[in-house]
Amino acid sequence: MLDAIDQALISALMQDSRRSLKALAQISGLSAPSVAERLKRLEERGVISAYTLEIDPKLLGYQLQAIVRIRPLPGKLQEVERQILAIAEFTECDKVTGDDCFIARLQVRSMEQLDNLLDRLNHFAETNTAIIKKSPIKRRLPPLD
């Protein structure tokens, strides 16, 4: 899928996406122009879909994170999806198989705000909320080979 060099590049950029081509060249043992080409290809293929940031929600004032399972009331599936998208505090959402149609992650400043947001959804769906106490794995790559 990915050769050893692509893997090295991706791992290195995953740790710090601002590394220069030169630095990446040293890490991967290639020359800088070769690294540039490989990155371009990885971007074009869509393997690298974005260079982005990791932000600490707590330091933005979002003291509370939760995972909400959402089961729309009959006929309300579309409406529920619209609502989720419209509520900016939902920072991730997956549509899944099973009884729950959506599983979403939510960041809020307080219990009160959590309650408010869920009330809005509860017009169209049943929800089941689990407060996040800790995140043992924040975000990591699966094996690249």
Partner DNA sequence: AATGAAATTCCTCTAGA
Partner DNA sequence: TCTAGAGGAATTTCATT
2-21 binders of DNA (CB under 7 A): 5, 20-21
62-101 binders of DNA (CB under 7 A): none
CA–CA gap between residue 14 and residue 81 (Å, rounded): 31
Options 5, 32, 34, 57; binder of a second copy; rule CB under 8 A: 57
- Please, which residues have CB within 8 angstroms of residue 106's CB and are 6 or more apart in sequence? 65, 66, 67, 68, 89, 90, 91, 114, 117
**Residue 102: which of 129, 63, 123 has the closest Cα?**
129
**SS3 call for 102:** strand
For position 34 contacting DNA by CB under 7 A, the verdict is yes
Least spacing, CB of residue 18 vs DNA, in Å: 8
Chain positions contacting DNA, by CB under 7 A = 5, 20-23, 29-34, 36-38
Chain positions contacting a second copy, by CB under 8 A = 1-2, 10, 13-18, 45-57, 59-62, 65-67, 81, 84-85, 88-98, 100, 102-104, 107, 128, 130-144
